[in-house]
């Protein structure tokens, strides 16, 4: 079973939040706590991330099955929110018949991309964990291969400096990169309300994606968070929370 953090009380439809690649439940702690004022909110560590089990299979079918097991254990119907990789897993779960009342997909489309993250995995794998004395030292070494300090800071949230390990199954994620940036062929439809929430400055969801989205999610709606990129929930948390709250309470 996946590692789960729970906030709130059993009133209203529960909300499950699935993070993106290299993320964890902890990344969503602030938003989860704020949204838990009217419902129970569950944030997950997806497989091969955080404190959840490591598995060789990191396909979206496997990730969606994990989500379905969590939904069954909580008791559906639930609302489901997924960002990036977690958004793709959430879409596959919904299209596979999981007991979902409303679906929110944050800044991703049900299509294949070419933005491999292999270089980030290689940078993390090259970090000499047994020689590190501080997180500052780790960031300095990573800076030679990863220019963006925001990305470095995000990745280092998954570094367990005390145990000299990553809380990421980098081997499995590397082997599965083609599947992670892809999207499986799937024949189902999800006919419940769905919100595709994107960052206005992001190009992950483009106009040409809308026909495939509408074919799979006939009740799809689209909204943008101004002045936000792919990490819309971190860059504009209040606006993101407001959009989620409005959609779930509609």
Pick out the chain residues at pLDDT < 70: none
> What's the pLDDT score for residue 107?
98
The residues near 163 (Cβ < 8 Å, ≥ 6 apart) are none
> What's the pLDDT score for residue 76?
87
3-class secondary-structure state, position 196: strand
Number of CB atoms found within 10 A of residue 163's CB: 9
> What's the pLDDT score for residue 88?
98
* Whether 112 contacts 209, CB under 8 Å: no
Can the peptide bond before residue 206 be classed as cis, meaning omega within 30 degrees of 0?
no
* Whether 230 contacts 199, CB under 8 Å: yes
Alpha-carbon distance 174 to 122, whole Å? Answer: 9
> What's the pLDDT score for residue 174?
98
Cα–Cα distance list, 169 to 29, 159, 182 (Å): 22, 12, 19
* Whether 197 contacts 240, CB under 8 Å: yes
DSSP assignment of 93-147: HHHTT--EEEEEEES--SS------HHHHHHHHTS-GGG---HHHHHHHHTTT--
* Whether 76 contacts 67, CB under 8 Å: no
Alpha-carbon distance 233 to 79, whole Å? Answer: 17
| 149 backbone dihedrals φ, ψ, rounded to 5° | -65, -30
Alpha-carbon distance 160 to 154, whole Å? Answer: 13
């Amino acid at each position: 079973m996946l590692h789960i953090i729970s906030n709130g009380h059993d009133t209203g439809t529960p909300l499950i939040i699935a993070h993106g690649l290299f993320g964890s439940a902890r990344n969503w702690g602030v938003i989860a706590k704020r949204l838990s004022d009217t419902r129970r909110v569950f944030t997950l560590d997806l497989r091969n991330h955080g404190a959840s089990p490591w598995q060789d299979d990191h396909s979206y079918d496997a990730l969606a099955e994990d989500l379905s097991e969590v939904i069954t254990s909580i008791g559906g119907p639930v609302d489901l929110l997924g960002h990036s990789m977690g958004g793709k897993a959430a879409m596959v779960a919904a299209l596979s018949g999981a007991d979902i009342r409303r679906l929110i997909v944050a800044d991703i489309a049900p299509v294949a991309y070419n933005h491999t993250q292999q270089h980030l995995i290689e940078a993390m794998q090259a970090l000499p964990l047994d020689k590190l004395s501080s997180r500052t030292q780790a960031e300095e070494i990573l800076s030679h291969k990863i220019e963006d300090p925001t990305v470095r800071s995000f990745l280092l949230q998954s570094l367990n400096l005390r145990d000299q390990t990553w809380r990421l199954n980098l081997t499995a994620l590397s082997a599965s990169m083609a599947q992670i940036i892809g999207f499986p062929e799937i024949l189902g439809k999800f006919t419940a309300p769905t919100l595709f929430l994107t960052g206005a400055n992001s190009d992950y969801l483009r106009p040409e994606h809308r026909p495939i989205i509408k074919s799979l999610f006939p009740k799809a709606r689209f909204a943008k968070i101004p002045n936000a990129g792919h990490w819309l929930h971190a860059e504009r948390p209040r606006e993101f929370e407001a959009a989620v709250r409005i959609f779930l309470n509609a």
